[in-house]
Amino acid sequence: MLFKLSIKNMKKSFKDYAIYFLTLVLGVAIFYMFNSLDSQQAMLDISASTRNIIKLMIQMLNFVSVFISVILGLLIVYANNFLINRRKREFGIYMTLGMGKRQISKIILFETILVGLLSLVAGLIIGIFASQFMSILVAKLFEADMTEFVFVFSKDACIKTCIYFAIMYLAVMIFNTITISRYKLINLLTAIKKNEKVKIKNPILSILIFLIAVGILAYCYWKVTGGVQTLSTADKMLPIILLGIISTILIFWSLSGFILKVVQMRKSLYLKGTNMFVLRQINNKINTTVISMSVICLMLFMTISVLSSSLSLRKTMQEDLKEMTPVDLNLYKTANLPEKSVNAYGREIQYTELQREDSRKLVSETLKEYGFDMNNLKDVVEIPIYAINDVTMQVSLGEYFDEAKAQYSMLSYDSVETIIKISDYNKIARLYGLPEYELENDEYIMLCDFDSMKPLRDNALKLGTKLTILGKEYKPKYDESKEGYILMSTSHTNTGIVLVPDSCPLTEEYKEQYFLAANYNAETEEKIEEIEKNFVDEDSSLVNAMEKDGILLDGFTKIAIREASVGIATIVVFIAIYLGIVFLIASAAILALKQLTESSDNKQRYIILRKIGCDEKMINGALFRQIFIFFMLPLALAIIHSIFGIQFAISVMSGLASSEQLLPSVIATVIIIGVVYGLYFLSTYVGSKNIIKEEE
């Protein structure tokens, strides 16, 4: 009997369950998709190092999934609360007919189980098929082979999804039982007649608070853009974050206090059509949902910023990798090791005679001594790199040092500069395909391509800062730093290299490193992989022999850099998409349920509109404008927050993400938000329209 009643109630109230069902289905589908990555076919045709990166990504996604499940769980409880409140009068009628609270709880229990099972099945079906597209995305991001793609079902992800959502539904059932047990018959029967009390705020006070909030936000925006160099640590960023949150709440609090008064001053607008009704409804909604609107705004801000910044990071790193890995191999080692030295932690390091002897040899000589066949390499270029204790960054900045230190106090200005002779650098530049330079005997060139450091170098050069190296004075050839680098990297990270003429008296004692750049002498993938193993494989006889003797040879390979870069960028993108979409769904669902609740509570007002002569077109138009404004208010402020938030993120990730790659990322983010947000908006409008048409 109760089960049949639950079935009938579900059929009758299907439109009420639409948003709830949509949220559950999307939640299940996304949860399955991101937890099925380890079973995707794309994982089968990748290198061992990439496979390790993917394992790390899956571990991180598992931790994120716990956080996501909490968010979805709270969202499901919140959505279910709307359905319970929507049916108070129905429950009151049941109780007048003699039904007890326990029986009502059983009806709700059956309905929750049915909706849960349907949404779980529908979500898993969508997730299983959508995860196949996830395989293609993973393959593209990790550059994996997909020629033998097959349909994959992840049993582990399915079980995990079922367990997590079963726990969520259990929490909903417990919540429903507690809620029903607290209801009183009189409150259930009169629930529809109760109106929320709205306190009218003082418009003068509201305008004053609004202006203060805008001022605080303007200060926060300036700090995260113009004053970004002062936000170097978490304790410095936290006050700005808190101020941003407080000002967001104050803006929504103050809006309801004066926006209606402002529009009322324009009688032609206020009295036109149903504008009076719409504005009063919007005013009341903002007034009673200040915290909700603020939370939604901040969640949307996080969604926009995280998605845009992460996608930009991925695109920028892809572009930089092509430019910053021009050869197959970079190797370097410390030159002229002393008997002992002190490390960065103040600990004394004692070097062996073998280590000190090897530090006076070229990299190629060390490789030969440990059995490596140099015929495996081609285009070999070896150069020395110099350093002099009294030529530091502070010295190279000259008169600009004080201003630089005031702006960038965290930099290590006592670090020695890297010095390279012009002919040695040109050998590397020729191999890398970079511009070559010429110098007179009294000139130097500063190379720098790191975006955050380049302005400091340029400002110092514009002042004509001269360098004294081993008793001889050198003037800058250019009034700005030039692009160039020695070490391969994932991005432009060269903070400064001083190029000096060959006549500069740099002797053996000033050699800091020996550096080697080369390509693999191989035509096939198998041969390339065989040579690569000599430098990156832990079981390599070359690596083990050097480690045994404590030889301090280090370096990078193009393959290792690219795999690591792809892995970092992809992990960031996946977690950002996961969090971003869930935040977006949560924000849109809360807005939708708030609006549906308002429509249910205000049915009497729409009945009055019909009685005074408003036709359905006018009423539907009024409803559409209400929902549109209600959805757009938090989104509009979130977009404004994001404009500055993304700039801050790009500044923090300087060298990894570029503002030049931001437009495609923003477009992709707009599409994602447009689809999900638009879907909830339309569902809310249709659901609200059905609610206000119901007969009492």
pLDDT tens digit string along 351-384?
888 888 888 899 999 999 998 999 999 999 999 9
Mean pLDDT value of segment 596-625: 78
Given this model, what pLDDT does residue 160 score?
Answer: 85
Q: Is the pLDDT of residue 10 over 90?
A: no
Residue 511 in contact with residue 385, Cβ under 8 Å?
A: yes
Q: Is the pLDDT of residue 48 over 70?
A: no
Mean pLDDT value of segment 121-145: 74
Q: Is the pLDDT of residue 328 over 90?
A: yes
d(CA 421, CA 506): 9
Pick 479 or 687 by higher pLDDT.
Answer: 479
Interval 533-584: pLDDT, tens:
888 887 788 888 888 888 878 888 998 888 777 766 677 777 777 788 888 8
The per-type count for the chain, helices as H runs and strands as E runs, is 24, 11
Mean pLDDT value of segment 597-601: 72
Interval 247-259: pLDDT, tens:
998 888 887 666 7
Q: Is the pLDDT of residue 482 over 70?
A: yes
Mean pLDDT of the chain: 79
3 state DSSP class of 516: strand
Handedness of CA 628, 630, 633, 636 (dihedral sign): negative
Mean pLDDT value of segment 439-460: 91
Interval 275-325: pLDDT, tens:
777 777 777 766 667 787 888 888 888 888 877 777 676 666 667 777 889
What percentage of the chain reaches a pLDDT higher than 90? 19
Q: Indicate the pLDDT class of residue 346, thresholds 50, 70 and 90.
A: low
Q: Which amino acid is at 594?
A: K
d(CA 127, CA 539): 41
Residue 597 in contact with residue 82, Cβ under 8 Å?
A: yes
Contacts 24+ apart (CB under 8 A), 649-652: 649/305, 649/309, 650/309, 650/312, 651/225, 651/228, 651/452, 652/228
62-71, 253-262, 499-508, 623-632: lowest mean pLDDT where?
A: 253-262
Mean pLDDT value of segment 203-211: 84
Mean pLDDT value of segment 66-87: 72
Given this model, what pLDDT does residue 196 score?
Answer: 47
Pick 41 or 554 by higher pLDDT.
Answer: 554
Pick 196 or 627 by higher pLDDT.
Answer: 627
d(CA 595, CA 587): 12
| Distance spanning both ends of the chain, measured CA to CA | 26
Name the nearest CA neighbour of 231 among 455, 239, 267.
239
pTM: predicted TM-score of the whole model, two decimal places = 0.66
Q: Indicate the pLDDT class of residue 206, thresholds 50, 70 and 90.
A: confident
DSSP state of 482: B
Q: Is the pLDDT of residue 516 over 80?
A: yes
Residue 148 in contact with residue 45, Cβ under 8 Å?
A: yes
261-275, 297-311, 476-490: lowest mean pLDDT where?
A: 261-275
Residue 596 in contact with residue 684, Cβ under 8 Å?
A: yes
Q: Indicate the pLDDT class of residue 513, thresholds 50, 70 and 90.
A: very high
92's CB contacts (< 8 A; 6+ apart) are: 185, 188, 189, 191
108-112, 189-193, 662-666: lowest mean pLDDT where?
A: 189-193
Pick 240 or 271 by higher pLDDT.
Answer: 240
Q: Bridge partners of 342? A: 348
Q: Is the pLDDT of residue 601 over 80?
A: no
Bridge-based pairing of strands 497-500 and 443-447 is antiparallel
d(CA 465, CA 467): 7
Q: Is the pLDDT of residue 345 over 90?
A: no
Residue 23 in contact with residue 584, Cβ under 8 Å?
A: no
111-125, 146-160, 193-207: lowest mean pLDDT where?
A: 193-207
Measured in degrees and rounded to the nearest 5, phi and psi for residue 451 equal: -55, -40
d(CA 436, CA 40): 47
